[in-house]
Amino acid sequence: MELRKSHRQKAKIKMAIQAPSGAGKTYSSLLIAKGLTDNDLSKVAIIDTENGSADLYAHFGDYNVLTLKPPYTPESYIEAIDVCLQARMEVIILDSISHCWDYLLEYHSSLPGNSFANWGKITPRQKKFLDKILQSDTHFIATMRVKQDYVINNKNGKMVPEKVGLKAVQRDSVDYEFTIVFDLDIKHYAKASKDRTGLFSDKPEFIITPGVGKQIRDWCNSGADLNEVKRKIKSCTTNSQLNALYKEFASYKDVLTKDFVQQQDVIRNNNIHNQHTFKQNGTTSS
């Protein structure tokens, strides 16, 4: 256990758009995806549970559609995501993940026995689904339907329901899992209810355009690609090359030290081998 300096690597955005029916969740997702892929919608896949709504925008570009049929189990979503990953899709739109939660609620209500204990059969399936989104190396845009939420308040001795806003049809606190959450209203205006990027957190309501996706893409790419750095480390054949690379990425030394040390050992062993070969044959090995 040790402290290290903070650092940010290149990232894949995991975001959600929540809105009532007709607010433009699918269309807005496609606009963001267009910006994320630099206008190449052939790299975008929509996993559609909304009765073919993804095909309504076929004129918009050459994106891909995978249609899910009931029951909308977490496992079927995961299988669909794997299909998209194998096809090397750069953006996967889950339209929507509300159907998955509806299925789990219905399944939970059908289980016999203690209702509280039965959540132990639901939570692992939900977690596996969310982990698939969060751990996959591609951009995700998940849409969620919302419904009016109410609370019961005491007014003049009477318990009356009062509207308190819109609530996503998904498990409570699911928004914690996403880097950005956009709320769309029926007039198609968006506002960030959550934004870890800092790009939209203080921004007034706005209309989503491909430029929003481009902003997100630039933010994702602004960190260091440590996998590429590690490949460069392995390609070093001399200590001078390794030292130059170490200085260039000194701020990431806490996570790269092991790779630098391993390559240093490789270079040292190669030098010993070459010296031994020269002593035996009078020439260096090829």
- Which parts of the chain sit beneath pLDDT 70? 1-8, 148-151, 162-166, 169, 224, 251-255, 276-286
Maximum Cα–Cα distance for the chain, whole Å? Answer: 102
**Measured between alpha carbons, how far is 84 from 42 in angstroms, rounded to an integer?**
12
Question: What's the Cα-to-Cα distance from 261 to each of 251, 254, 267, 273, rounded to whole Å?
Answer: 16, 12, 10, 18
pLDDT tens by residue, 267-279:
999 888 777 665 6
pLDDT at position 286 is 45
**Nearest partner of 174 among 58, 74, 282, 56, judged by Cα:** 74
For the record, the structure tokens of 146 come out as 């919302």
**Cβ partners under 8 Å of residue 248, min gap 6:** none
Task: DSSP letter for 201, please.
Answer: T
For the record, the structure tokens of 164 come out as 């308190």
**Can you list the positions of beta strands (E) in the chain?**
14-19, 44-48, 64-67, 91-95, 139-155, 158-168, 180-184, 189-195, 206-207
pLDDT at position 276 is 65
pLDDT tens by residue, 83-123:
999 999 999 999 989 999 999 999 999 999 898 999 999 99
- Model pTM score: 0.75
Burial class (CB in 10 A: 0-12, 13-18, 19+), 194: middle
17, 184 in Cβ contact below 8 A? yes
**Can you list the positions of beta strands (E) in 196-248?**
206-207
Secondary structure class of 170 (helix, strand, coil): coil
Q: What are the start-end ranges of the H helices in 17-97?
A: 25-36, 74-86
pLDDT tens by residue, 206-223:
999 999 999 999 999 887
pLDDT at position 161 is 72
For the record, the structure tokens of 112 come out as 């016999």
Buried b (16+ CB within 10 A) or exposed e, 9-19: eebbbbbbbbb
